[in-house]
Every structure is written in C-alpha cells, then in structure tokens.
Chains A and B, each alone.
Chain A
Amino acid sequence: MAKRYVRAPYRQLPNGQRGISLIPVMVSIAIFTALAVQYSLPQQQHRQSQKNLDAAQIAAAQLLQAALSYHVDNGVWPQTIPTDVQDYFSVNVPTTNSWGNSWQFFNPPGNQGLILTTQAGSSWSANALAARFGGIARVCMNANNLCAVWQNDGTWVYIGIAPP
C-alpha cells in the first residue's frame, strides 16, 4: 500500500494561502521599535520641550505687554508680579513659568526700559527661550544682576524692552 502524506495541522493554510513567518514580523517589530526609540521618543521629548518654550514665550510676551500698558497708564514701570499688572489680564497673571520658576521685573537705572527675568529648566531651555526673543534677550548664570554678558551655561533668561 502506497504511503500517504499526512498533513501536519499547522504547516499550511487552507486554499493555498501563504502564511507570514514569525521571523520577518519579529524583525519588523524590532526595527520599528528601534526607530521609535531612536527617533520618536526623543521627538516626543523635544515636542514637550517646545511646548514648555511656547508657553514661556507666550507668558513673557503677555507680561511685557502688560508692563508697557502699566507704564503708559502710570508713567513708571511695574515692580511686582502679579500685583502691579493683574489689571491687564482677563485671566490669571502667569506668576511662574513652564518649569515652575517665578517671573520677575527688574528696573534698570535711568529711563532705560524694563527687564523681565526668569529661570528656565536647563541651560538649553534658557538659550532656546532667549533665542526666541532675539537680540533683546540674554542668558546669564545668576539672578539679580543686569546680565551684561551672555553666558551659555546659565539658566536665567533676561528679556529687555525699550521704554514707550
């Protein structure tokens, strides 16, 4: 009697349909995971940083605009946040930045303008935030000075505006 092949139950799908081997699937998943780890996750972290920067930039712009309005109304610059500028906000005054540090006004001597300062979460964030304001902003190591020279390692951002 001739031998007959007995199909193993898991070797081939019905109707001639080919199956997908586990190996390429695993390789694809491995590559995709590697790419995700190498690219996507840092991108997400980058986007989070950008969101923090966006929020800080908007808050700074609003505080500076409020300071200008205060100066127009009172002839002098505001001293404290939020007390002096709260009348110029329809919602709460941003008192802390995206990294949880406070915003402060500095009044340089004379009629030179106003400086808004805050501490960013890192020197990278500080430099990026200052860069968004162009040449009127600077990064320094310390608070409570006029930040005469840009210090890349600093975390304090100083943004200056001219008097109206």
Chain B
Amino acid sequence: MQQLPRYGMPVHQLGVTLLPALVTVALLTIIIIWIDIPQQMQKQHQNQAIAHTNNIVQLLAANLKHYDENNQWPTNLEADLAPYLPIQPADEVFAGVTITTTARDQAEVTINAEKHAIAIARQLARQFGEINVDIIDSTGQSASHGDRVKVELQAYKNGSSYYLAVDEGTDDFGGNTHGAASKATDYVSLTTDINYRNGQIQFDNIHSGDRMYATFDTWIGGGTGADALYFYWAATARPTGEEDDSGGYNFAIDAYNNQLQLRSTSRLIYASEPMHNLDDSQWHNWKVEMKEGVVSVWRDNILQFTQADSFEVNNNRTFIGWGARTRGLNNHHRLRNMKVWISTNNGSL
C-alpha cells in the first residue's frame, strides 16, 4: 500500500539543504575579504603615512629653527633639536633621518620613509610650499619608487635667504665701541644720562648687499628725555648722530622729536607721526628690513612703517652699527640681542 508523504515535506525534496546558508556565508566572506579589509588596511596605511609626515614636518621645522638661532645646521639631531620639540620624539623617529650641510645656509635632509615615501613627499610639498623634495633610492639617485625622501632646506628670514653677519646676545659682546659707548654686563650702553655725549658700537667690513634684515632690543629712558638711538647700515663712515647717515641708511628712534625717522643719502625720507612712548624705560624689540628697494620697521612685532627708496647699496659701504646721542637733554640708551643678516645674493663678510 502506497503511503502518503509526511505532512509538510514536498513530494520531490530530498532533505534539508544548507546551500542557501553556505552561499550567504560565502558572499559575506567575499565582501569582507575583498572590500572591507583592504579598505581598513588602506585607512591604516594613510594614518601611518600622516603620522610619519607629522614627525618629519616637525623635525624640519626644528632644523630650520636651530639654524635660525644658532647660524648652523644641527649635527646631532636628537640633542640639537630637543630645545625646539616640546614633545621629544622616540629614538626611532630620529633613526631614519640624516642631515648634511650643503652650503652655508642650505642643508639636505634624507628620510628613510619606506613605503610612505610618496605620501610624505606630497605632504611636505603641500606643507612647505616651495620646498625642494625628491624621492630617492638607497644609492641616492632619484627613483619614483624609492624608499627615501630627500629634502633641501634653505634658511629663510621673512621670505629671503640671508647670512647671519652679526650675532650678539645679552653678554660678551663683539664689535667695537666708540665715544661714550661701553659694554656692560647685560647690555651695551651707548650713552648714559649725561648731556652732549654720543657713542656707537660698530661692526666693520660687512657688505649687506641688496638686502638686509636686523633685529635688536633697545632700552631708552631714565634721563631728561633726549635725543635718539639709531641703527645704521651700508655706511662709509661712523655716524655720530641720528641726522647723519654717513653715506648709507640711518633709522632713528628719536625721543626728542617723538618720532621714528629714516635717512639715506643725506635726506630724511621718512618721519612718523608723534610717538610719546619711545623713552618709556622698557625693553622693546625692533626689526629692520631692507629688501627690493623698500625699508620696513617693526616694533615689538608690530609693523611701524614701510618706505620705498631708490638708493642702491654697493659693496664699498661696509659699516653696520648702532649709536645714540644726547645734547641739552639726555637719556640712557641701551642695546642688546643685536643680529644682522645680509643678502646671500651679493652680501659678504
């Protein structure tokens, strides 16, 4: 007797199959292996490259700062760069990095970047703008698939390359003092509070060339209010007052007339509006730049003026220095941290 099929089972079905389940598992596995895991690995690779690049960017910035403050490139990266890195990187960060001085104001940094070389090179180019970056192989030759990044560092000051020609701090001063000037423990005294005095500290045989950048700190005050402290460059002789440019430039901080003044070729080419805080018995920082026919002056990092001038500086004009003068009124005129950079185009020491 033929039996009825069991209830619920189709007539021709052979049994329970796991095929749909296996297909589901297989598809999911393929998605994970082919799409998701590679995406995660790519993301991880990108993050590693970004981290590596961050290291390099900070190391390069610290190298440039070291040159800026020491007038030479670091020789021991870990020790020399420590003052400029608030979080000291682990030893392995420095292990793959070497620096070679190629010129007075240029250096070559080589980074063993392994598989991140291209990513790092691209990021560095973005970060530093006109930086010269190359990918090289272990022999130092350019190679599109090399594992090292070579960076050419050029020391800049306000966008231009310079040699540091005068590098004074707060003691043990160089240069030659004249007249009433003397080298004190922490500063150079150009005049004291005595009437009718003038004094200078001068650095000889420095050709500024077609551009110049100087920074210095001044302290003016403690007297009856005059006359002026001045900075001169490209001069052919030593000026003894703020109204004397001696054939070059003279930038004066004039507390008698309460103004900033700029002279060249025996002409007053700029005089500021009245400034009544010039002899306030406090230290102030000044920056003076001459570049592309324009003289710019900053006081405590605030731009005071820019003045175009057609005077051509030539290499016969070799005196750079600072001076001060008193007449019927007086002030202490003090100076420290004097630094002068001269053009790498045609300046010379």
Contact = CB atoms under 8 A, between A and B. Distances in A.
Nearest to B69: A111
* Among A28, A32, A110, A164: residue with most chain B CB under 10 A: A28
A147 B301 contact: no
Contacts of A160: 58, 85-87
A19 B10 CA distance: 7
A11 B71 CA distance: 94
A20 B50 CA distance: 52
Interface residues of B, number: 47
Given A110-B83, A115-B86, A135-B55, A23 B16 contact: yes
B50 A164 contact: no
B90 A135 contact: yes
B62 A162 contact: yes
Interface string A47-66: 00010000001000000000
B28 to A, nearest CB: 6
Interface in B1-38: 4-5, 7-13, 16-21, 24-25, 28, 32, 36
A138 B69 CA distance: 27
B256 interface: no
Contacts of B50: 57, 132, 134
B25 A5 contact: no
Contacts of B104: none
B85 A28 contact: no
A159 interface: yes
Contacts of B13: 18-19, 21
Interface in A74-132: 74-75, 106, 108, 110-115, 131-132
Contacts of B21: 24, 27-28, 31
A25 interface: yes
A137 B87 contact: yes
A113 B88 CA distance: 11
Interface in B76-107: 81, 83-87, 89-90, 92-93
B164 to A, nearest CB: 17
A161 interface: yes
A28 B20 contact: yes
Interface string A20-44: 1101110110011001000100010
A25 B20 contact: yes
B51 A134 contact: yes
Interface string B268-302: 00000000000000000100000000000000110
A136 B53 CA distance: 11
A159 B11 CA distance: 72
Interface residues of A, number: 49
Contact of B61 (A24, A57, A163): A163
A133 B54 contact: yes
A163 B65 CA distance: 7
B7 A8 contact: yes
B52 interface: yes
A131 B46 CA distance: 12
B34 to A, nearest CB: 15
Contacts of B115: none
Contacts of B81: 162
A158 interface: yes
Contact of A162 (B11, B18, B28, B61): B61
Contacts of B9: 11
Contact of A132 (B17, B51, B69, B301): B51
Contacts of B7: 8, 11
Contacts of B43: 50
B316 interface: no
A12 B18 contact: no
B86 A31 contact: no
Q: Considering residues A31, A133, A136, which has the most beta carbons from chain B within 10 angstroms of its beta carbon? A: A136
Nearest to B32: A39
A25 B92 CA distance: 55
Interface of A: 5, 8, 10-12, 18-21, 23-25, 27-28, 31-32, 35, 39, 43, 50, 57, 73-75, 106, 108, 110-115, 131-138, 146-147, 158-164
Given A5-B4, A18-B13, A162-B81, 4 more contacts: A24-B21, A31-B21, A74-B301, A162-B86
Top 10 nearest A-B pairs (CB, nearest first) are: A135-B89, A160-B87, A134-B51, A160-B86, A135-B93, A75-B301, A134-B55, A162-B61, A113-B86, A162-B62
